[in-house]
Amino acid sequence: MAERPKDSRRVAGGTRERKGWERQASAAGTEETRPKAEGLLKEVLRRENLLEALKRVRSNRGAPGVDGMTVEALSPYLKGEWPRIREELLGGTYVPSPVRQVTIPKPDGKGVRTLGIPTVLDRFIQQAVLQGITPVFDPHFSGSSFGFRPGRGYHDAVRAAQGHVEAGYRFVVDIDLEKFFDRVNHDVLMARVARRVGDKRLLRLIRRYLEAGIMIEGVVSPREEGTPQGGPLSPLLSNILLDDLDKELERRGHRFCRYADDCNVYVKSKAAGDRVMESIARFLGKRLRLMMNRDKSAVDRPWNRKFLGYTMTPHRRPKLKVAPGSVKRVKAHIREIVRKGRGRSLAKVIGEITPFLRGWVAYFRLSQVKNVFEEMDQWIRRKMRLILWRQWKRPRTRAKKVIRLGIDRARAYPSAYNGRGPWWNAGASHMNAAVPAKWLQHQGFMSLLAEHRRLNGLA
């Protein structure tokens, strides 16, 4: 592992001296860690690389930045302005625009996540830089790092975690980094980028992207730390910084899985987990200037924690399952769609909900516990019946509708006039009989269990 930078006290004190990170890189570098790529910016600006970057930006779509330029307007703009922009990039004079700050609710509903939306032009340049430097860094990353890497993904991380528990490592050190993307120290990060990138113009450009200001309500504020979530470069930069943590865990012989800033270390006892937790907290603070969130981090059994939305059973050969928190979040999203669906036809609501559900099942297709999908199917069908019951409004209308759907008059009228609430009626036997699963399927409703079986080749 690389030595601690000699001027680390300056880093901790927040020095803005431009060449501080270059001295750190020189102190940290070895022949193995610094095969300098001197002409990397020209590779980034190669025509084929730029065309691929443009294609990616178009496919990713996304909202405009502070300049209001849309993805559709990027190509016409580049036709006239790219020669000038290219010269600025090669000459080291290009200055990125500020990012537009937006906030979105966190998946657990507790607090918000801050995103920085770069302009479409800066997303294009960042994407080109990402494609140019990924081959320089990615081959040297840990095999236990899975996030935002070519040929790897969340399913690989979940399978690896399951394998560690099956091998007898039945305690997990669940590490949560406190406001990771907001707390990244620029000098520490640039020291690690400079280990492998020798092109000073490219280093300067990356640094400027890190320091690009944030526009909030028309006012630009400078950025002294953090890497804004929302830009194409941010995930790779996080992997570059946290690779030091990966290498330290490997040096100590630990089994672990890391996906971006979500890291789980697997050990054989609670005592070992407590020791690992404390040593990792010290390492993060001293070497990477990062803090562990003590409230969210824990040493526990893997089946009491979640990793990338999954948890597992406590069997000797554990089975993967959807974590309860993931079920809670998908239900909240469906409730919102149903709430907005009042006044719309059932077919339109199903048309909106189906793509979301299809993506959700695809994400959780590794789950080996099927009852979650069965229970979700029942709950969503009840939500669909709820929409119909509310749309029918009056008892007399409800009676006529269920009769038309096959319920006899003697049962229909008492059911329609029972005085119970919409949710109770949506789950009652008369609505189950009038609007069975097959009828909903004909309206386009997708069964989660059937889709899960299809994805796993069991249909």
Q: Where are the alpha helices (DSSP H) in 299-457?
A: 324-340, 346-363, 371-392, 395-404, 409-416, 422-426, 429-434, 437-442, 448-455
Residue 11 has pLDDT above 80, yes or no: no
More confident residue, 121 or 104: 121
* pLDDT value of residue 237: 92
- What is the average per-residue pLDDT within 404-413? 95
pLDDT digits (tens, 9 = 90+) for 249-266: 999 999 999 999 899 999
Q: Strand order in 171-176's β-sheet?
A: 255-259, 262-267, 171-176, 298-300
- What is the average per-residue pLDDT within 145-158? 95
* pLDDT value of residue 28: 39
Strands 310-312 and 262-267: unpaired
| Dihedral over Cα of 55, 58, 60, 63: its sign | positive
Nearest CA-CA partner of 116 in 223, 260, 262, 242: 223
DSSP 8-state symbol, 139:
G
Residue 108 has pLDDT above 70, yes or no: no
pLDDT digits (tens, 9 = 90+) for 216-226: 555 445 555 55
Taking CA 118 as the corner, what is the angle to CA 114 and CA 121, rounded to the nearest 5 degrees? 170
Q: How far is CA 211 from the centre of its chain?
A: 23
Residue 146 has pLDDT above 80, yes or no: yes
pTM of the model: 0.83
* pLDDT value of residue 111: 62
Residue 155 CB: number of other CB atoms within 10 A? 17
**Residues in CB range of 77: below 8 A, 6 or more apart:** 69, 121
Q: Which of 222-236, 311-325, 422-436 shows the lowest per-residue confidence on average (mean pLDDT)?
A: 222-236
When the pLDDT of each residue in the chain is averaged and rounded to a whole number, the result is 87
* pLDDT value of residue 109: 58
Nearest CA-CA partner of 186 in 130, 228, 141: 228
* pLDDT value of residue 416: 95
| Block residue for tokens 């409703």 | 445
d(CA 20, CA 194): 11
